[in-house]
Copies of this chain bind each other. A is one copy, B any other.
Amino acid sequence: MPNLPPRDAIRCAATDLFVRDGYAATTVRAIAAAAGCDPALVIRHFGSKEALFLETVPASADLPRVLAGPIESLGRELVRFVLAASESPVAGVYRALLSASDRPEIRERLRSSMHDVFVGPLANRIGGHSPELRARLVAAQFTGLINAYWLVADPVLRSADRQVIVSFYGDAIQRLLDSADPA
């Protein structure tokens, strides 16, 4: 953390702490300490802790690239993306968002960022019946896996062969991507 302007230093510190510790466990005072400034300054610059959260915790930048890949292997590719998310901030960001999910504005953010970065791009690429709806259901499968793997972190899941998860879960997603008509 070199000599950044205070506003950027606060943003940096806030992102790190929110993603690492969640919303409730991250205090304004801790952010200020990590940024090397006064707690009051945090509020002065961003209005509130919640506003700071909404401004700092970002959507994933890698996801659009995955969603732009070939549609016939997208199911498995999405699963690979989730399982490899330890190096990207996706897992932490998602956990942070869920940990603040009892706040209506943050639920709204969860919805809108999911739509902008996932549902929208995907709905345009899949054919068949109700693409808008099916894209949302694919998103549900996607978040379900993030949830199980990175939040609940079930040991059996975490120690399982990744290839097997990719096959099983990827094909289940693919099923939804390919299905043309509701039976």
Interface residues of chain A, those whose CB is within 8 Å of chain B, are 21-25, 95, 98-99, 101-102, 107, 110-111, 114-115, 130, 132-134, 136-137, 139-145, 147-149, 151-154, 156-157, 160, 163-165, 167-169, 171-173, 175-176, 179, 182-183
**Are A171 and B167 within 8 A (Cβ)?**
no
Instruction: Give the chain B neighbours of A98 by CB distance below 8 A.
Output: 98, 101
Instruction: Give the chain B neighbours of A101 by CB distance below 8 A.
Output: 22, 95, 98-99, 151
In angstroms, Cα B140 to Cα A163, docked, is 17
**Are B25 and A152 within 8 A (Cβ)?**
no
The interface residues of chain A, by DSSP majority, are classed as: helix
> Closest CB of chain B to A170's CB: distance in Å?
9
**Are B107 and A137 within 8 A (Cβ)?**
no
**Are B153 and A148 within 8 A (Cβ)?**
no
**Are A176 and B182 within 8 A (Cβ)?**
no
Instruction: Give the chain B neighbours of A22 by CB distance below 8 A.
Output: 101-102
**Are B183 and A130 within 8 A (Cβ)?**
no
Q: With A107-B152, A139-B148, A183-B171 in contact, do A130 and B25 touch (Cβ < 8 Å)? A: no
**Are B95 and A102 within 8 A (Cβ)?**
yes
Rank and list the top 9 A-B pairs by shortest CB-CB distance, nearest first: A144-B144, A22-B102, A167-B182, A99-B102, A140-B148, A140-B144, A172-B176, A175-B175, A164-B182
